[in-house]
């Protein structure tokens, strides 16, 4: 199973493709020039297969690699970041 996370700026979200099928996304809003990660969704067909974690990791890795700081209001991502403190440096207060 191949997974690819890429940003779709036109839809304001990061998407994860699993074997070329859209499996989920992290939606964001722009507030005062800062991306605010507001919602994570994984298609039912892909739940329980690590897609949500791969999506979170891929999104946060890309943001960190670009040197972007983001705010996070999505409960799934807040929990993910608590469990993976290596991403805490990417996050600013919402």
The stretch 57-81 carries a mean pLDDT of 97
How many percent of the chain have pLDDT more than 70? 99
CA distances (Å), origin 61, targets 38, 44, 90: 17, 24, 9
pTM, whole model, 2 decimals? 0.95
**Both tokens assigned to 12:** 């304001």
pLDDT at 94: 61
pLDDT at 1: 84
For 16, phi then psi, to 5°, come to -115, 130
The stretch 31-40 carries a mean pLDDT of 95
Q: Which domains does the chain show, CATH number per domain?
A: 3-92 (3.40.630.30)
């Amino acid at each position: 199973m191949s997974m690819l996370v890429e940003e779709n700026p036109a839809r304001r979200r990061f998407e994860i493709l699993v074997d070329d099928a859209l499996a989920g996304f992290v939606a964001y809003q722009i507030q005062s020039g800062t991306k605010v990660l507001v919602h994570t969704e994984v298609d039912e067909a892909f739940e329980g297969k690590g897609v949500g974690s791969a999506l979170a990791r891929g999104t946060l890795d890309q943001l960190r690699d670009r040197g972007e700081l983001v705010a996070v209001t999505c409960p799934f991502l807040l929990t993910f970041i608590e469990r993976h403190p290596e991403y805490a440096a990417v996050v600013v207060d919402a």
